[in-house]
Chain A
């Protein structure tokens, strides 16, 4: 082993997870276990209509017959689904606060510590925010301003009550309850998440954002997000996630559904920083997520950007169904696995309509004992004349114990389609590090610089303020590691 590699590995051992604190407050948490009664309890808590409860129960019955998928390149012990609590909410939120002034100061303090000062946010223009704490949404900012534009942005549990027709029309149409094991589980027990509706021709006046926080011990978070963009509308949505530092694993199984109608555009960005576990793999979130966008309309566009630095295990494949003629799907991803983190992530692009286009750019960084796999599917159906795909998939390896796999599936059933896939896997360039250092830059900064350069094609897809955030996050996650 060369000197510099040893040094990098030493550097990699550092790294502090700054969001690892616990907020101490009284919570209303149900006993662990999963049964029809628990689902009825959740549904009652949320004051849901009967059709939704029926849907949950049907999904649950289906889930009971399903088997946990084992095809991904990740390893973890059997999850005991009866040992998880499926609902937890701060007691102070029993009646949802009408305004921020009514929100428990402890909660506001939590978000401030996480770098999201909600009170100030409400005054400053820019980003509207929904914040979800364990199983409930505690606040949504800028709602009035958004409503003026006709944009609906609220917790999904509220949307179920306020806009039942819209929810019923779209919920479960992109990710059906039986889609996969975790989607079925989510469909049965989902608690909160965001609902976004952009009416025809409206360009959403600000960035929308949801911040997910897991706080209670032994709980799972099962959020559900639904975004509908009507004809000719545009929205940019960003989600962030953190959780306390705990020795046991916690499960996060979300479902996100996007619907873009004619010429609508949805830009969905994720900065995922769930607690990754410690350097020996103790603790950390299991992040098993189903995200799918449906480009239902002509010339519609859905763009996924994800920065995945957290979680002990990430299993997610944000996908696009390119149904509308001339629709576009994009997937830009940076995934970083460090210490004992594992990630099996990628995308699916399903070309159905004519002249549909998809772009995939995936950058994986494996450090320490990190393991990750890119898994992607590009499928061109016979109907998709003129389909185009470009895929670029690069892995950077730091340290001799890490691993990187690439599994890109391409299935083409139309002779006018054009697909191009390129992939590389290589170690971090020692000559690049030396070059930077010979200019006076420390090794840690040099590693960070090279890694950030490697990720640039993805970072530039993020909204400005989050791009900076993402770069910082990379630095911290590689701290020591990739400065």
Chain B
């Protein structure tokens, strides 16, 4: 293991209050012991992180960033992080429910912690901490911008966020990850989500990292009685992107709607590993993913649905569809069902193919050029997911970001 991780840890420790040091040390040791995951581990079969062990990532210094105002979303409050640290000038939010992460504010892991989570727990210095009191509502959606600004030498940054909705609370949070510059950077994020009874949590995430960024994000959600979590993700950039989702239906009658689009190009490797855990009766989960893979990009989708013995009347459906647009592109998909009781209705489907030639022909017969016809169909393929974003400015931002990356003439809007 490169000594840079321990070196970064020493720096972090100096900035940490004494009370946090023990926990950070334990996590660092656990990380060093386990190392980065490699292909021999089933969950990492298609994504090998072991090369990271030999790279030297210094803890990122606060970076230079350009004017971000064009990225601001109208009608939102805003929290901005640059290279893993809070940026007060660009942030704008009312005091109260929204706050920055405090040491030790993170919940306890329910599932076994992977080594990346240990690394994050050892090194993360900042992040969002949102807590809503019962029956309250975030007036405006919260926009969390995380900007990575790589310098000449490889660097890394880490963030830990938590969102806690108490019974009956409601919130919409938009996470946007972007990069300023081309250098090599490692970003790990850990996001804790909790929706207590009857709460409604809406999470939207747009990831547009630069081609030198390796972004590893782990999401843990606990959704409780009659609560609903809507989670929508769009992955567009990055060098290596991995999203690990563990969504737990932790009380009866919980509901989780999970969806995502990945549209990697270049040599991007994007891996979405989702896990939905049904522990209680009457849970409903829906999962929809769309993949558009071009150039020499690789996409991995692994969606696991687990229905535990007492989770009767579980209703779960999952679907993933992929389009492969180039001879060097690759898709590995594995939808899994693990069912431990008989009173369930679970389905999953996975497809991989091309655009429907007949539909292209149909559009062309109406006078639409081939290029536009393709773009229109690709766009509509992804829109099945993106159309579910209720907050209009966020939906527009994401649709435009996607369109800009689709093959063909960018100015042609379907």
Contacts and interface: CB of A to CB of B under 8 A. Distances in A.
**Contact flag (A, B; Cβ within 8 A):** yes
Interface string B320-358: 001011111111111111111111111111111110000
Interface residues of A, number: 36
Given A398-B342, A400-B342, A425 B337 contact: yes
B347 A424 contact: yes
Contacts of B351: 418-421
B346 to A, nearest CB: 4
A416 B354 contact: yes
B325 A415 contact: yes
Interface of A: 71, 366, 382, 395, 397-428
A414 B325 CA distance: 9
Given A412-B324, A415-B326, A424-B347, A402 B353 contact: no
11 contacts: A403-B338, A406-B335, A407-B336, A410-B332, A415-B329, A418-B352, A419-B353, A420-B351, A423-B349, A424-B345, A428-B342
A399 B341 CA distance: 8
A402 B342 contact: yes
A417 B327 CA distance: 10
Given A407-B334, A413-B330, A426 B346 contact: yes
Given A415-B354, A424-B347, A427-B344, A410 B337 contact: no
Contacts of A418: 351-354
A427 B342 contact: yes
Contact of A414 (B312, B324, B332, B343): B324
A419 B345 CA distance: 24
Interface of B, helix, strand, loop or mixed by DSSP: strand
Interface size class of B (residues with CB under 8 A): 35 or more
A409 B352 CA distance: 12
Contacts of A426: 344-346
Nearest to B321: A420
Nearest to B310: A400
A101 B245 CA distance: 68
Contacts of A401: 309
Contact of B327 (A405, A410, A415): A415
B343 A412 contact: no
B324 A403 contact: no
A398 B334 CA distance: 26
B15 interface: no
A425 B343 CA distance: 10
Nearest to B323: A415
Contacts of A398: 342
B337 A404 contact: yes
A405 B339 contact: yes
B411 interface: no
Given A397-B342, A402-B342, A410 B334 contact: yes
Contact of B344 (A397, A411, A412, A414): A397
Contacts of A405: 336-339
Contacts of B330: 411-413
Contacts of B348: 406, 421-423
B339 A422 contact: no
B54 interface: no
A54 to B, nearest CB: 32
Contacts of A417: 324, 352-353
A87 B350 CA distance: 46
Interface in B283-322: 309, 312, 322
Nearest to A376: B334
Contact of B335 (A382, A403, A404, A421): A421
Interface string B178-219: 000000000000000000000000000000000000000000
B67 interface: no
Given A397-B342, A417-B324, A424-B346, A410 B354 contact: no
Nearest to A366: B342
Nearest to A426: B345
B328 to A, nearest CB: 8
B42 interface: yes
A425 B346 contact: yes
A422 B321 CA distance: 11
Nearest to B349: A422
Contact of B340 (A403, A406, A420): A403
Contacts of A404: 337, 339
Nearest to B302: A409
Contact of A425 (B324, B325, B331, B344): B344
A421 B337 CA distance: 13
Contacts of A71: 42
A71 B339 CA distance: 18
A410 B352 contact: yes
A71 B333 CA distance: 19
Given A412-B324, A412-B332, A415-B326, A425 B339 contact: yes
Nearest 7 pairs between A and B by C-beta? A397-B342, A415-B324, A418-B353, A406-B337, A421-B350, A427-B342, A419-B352
Given A410-B333, A414-B324, A421 B349 contact: yes
B358 to A, nearest CB: 13
A415 B322 CA distance: 10
A425 B325 CA distance: 32
Given A418-B352, A418-B353, 9 more contacts: A366-B342, A398-B342, A415-B324, A415-B354, A421-B350, A422-B347, A425-B337, A425-B347, A426-B345
A446 B387 CA distance: 45
Nearest to B337: A406
B14 to A, nearest CB: 44
Nearest to B298: A413
B332 A397 contact: no
B335 A423 contact: yes
B354 A419 contact: no
Contacts of A423: 335, 337, 347-349
